[in-house]
Amino acid sequence: MKNFSSHSTIGFLLALLFFTIALPTQATAQKRDYMTDAESELVREAQEIDRRIDILVKMIDRRFAVINNEPLKVEKNSEKWGELPTGTRIELLSDISKLLQKAIDDIDDVAAHNRMDSQLFPKAMRNLAAASNKFLPQLKAVYDKSPGEKEKGLIIGATEFCNQIIEASSKLPKDLPKDDKKKKSKNNTN
């Protein structure tokens, strides 16, 4: 009887040890999504690259507004966008970095499938580059106020993404003014 009791005690302790280790691991495995449910739906619906990039840019703007405690103007489509994102400063900075990466991935996907010839691709790239130029000073301001290395690392990563975007957009062919496009099309038809 004594052996049975010690075996069941050991088994109980091993099971307790397993659950003590496994439960916190499972809780940390449930990662926070970097988009709200409403934002995810907007991204899913936006199939054109220019619309999708515009949505991702607005999502980043919303996170900067929360980080900087700046109330956004009442949005016309607030029910469409849902509540402002929530989270710690580090989580919101991580969201910004992930959203920039998502924008880069979406642009790369269009480029990989040779869909760059449409007018939407250059427009999307230019809009993303303009937004990146707008984000850089905001990132620097947040960096200057950041107390921790983790925050600073996230900001450095987001800054690098912005710089990559700006550099890539500089390789786009220059847009012709509308008058020049009309002249070229007239010359090509003659």
Query: Residue 24's pLDDT band (boundaries 50, 70, 90)?
Result: low
Instruction: Identify the residue with better confidence: 81 or 160.
Output: 160
Residue with tokens 């934002």: 39
Residue with tokens 């580059």: 129
pLDDT digits (tens, 9 = 90+) for 101-110: 999 999 999 8
pLDDT mean across residues, the chain: 81
* pLDDT computed for residue 174 by the predictor: 77
* pLDDT computed for residue 83 by the predictor: 87
* pLDDT computed for residue 7 by the predictor: 58
- CB-CB contact of 132 with 162 (8 Å): yes
The pTM is what? 0.75
pLDDT digits (tens, 9 = 90+) for 119-152: 889 999 999 999 999 999 999 999 999 999 999 9
Please state the rounded mean pLDDT for residues 153-165: 97
Torsion of CA 24, 26, 28, 32, to 10 degrees: -150
Please state the rounded mean pLDDT for residues 161-174: 92
- CB-CB contact of 158 with 139 (8 Å): yes
CA–CA dist 106, 122 (Å, integer): 13
